[in-house]
Amino acid sequence: EVQLVESGGGLVQPGGSLRLSCAASGFTVSSNYMSWVRQAPGKGLEWVSVIYSGGSTYYADSVKDRFTISRDNSKNTVYLQMNSLRAEDTAVYYCASATRGGSSRAFDYWGQGTLVTVSS
């Protein structure tokens, strides 16, 4: 059974840092596209970042140069390092995976999400 479990959320002050983790089971993260999607309170879904199976990484403009996505193949885990956090980064952060290829590569599995609150 495929499962994604996020952790690492919490309360952080503006300008602070946080690292989110997404532990996967039932499939291999290094063979699939893994992404982070966030949802601010009462708002819609916002794509944040993706790491491709080949290792390429991409970011939304809103987080570029502040967030870094990475993976540890030995732990089958994906991370999101978040630096220089702002109030507008407050959201539930979901880990999502795209386990099919080509034009079928939508997010077919999602974690339960972890809440990040940026506030003084």
Q: Does 3 help bind other proteins (rule: CB under 8 A)?
A: no
CA end-to-end distance (rounded Å), the chain: 40
Q: Minimum CB separation from other proteins for residue 74, in Å?
A: 26
Pick from 11, 28, 73, 108 the residue near other proteins by CB under 8 A. 108
Q: To which residue do tokens 């089971």 refer?
A: 25
Based on CB atoms, which residue is closest to other proteins, 29 or 98? Answer: 98
Q: Report how far residue 99's alpha carbon sits from residue 51's, in angstroms, rounded to the nearest whole number.
A: 13
What is the token pair recorded at 25? 């089971």
Q: Which of residues 30-69 bind other proteins (CB under 8 A)?
A: 35, 37, 44-47, 50, 58-61
Pick from 67, 79, 93, 94 the residue near other proteins by CB under 8 A. 94
Output the 3-class SS for 53-97.
CCCCEEECCCCCCCEEEEEECCCCEEEEEECCCCHHHCEEEEEEE
Based on CB atoms, which residue is closest to other proteins, 60 or 83? Answer: 60
Residue numbers of the site for other proteins (CB under 8 A)?
35, 37, 44-47, 50, 58-61, 94, 98, 100, 103-108, 110-113
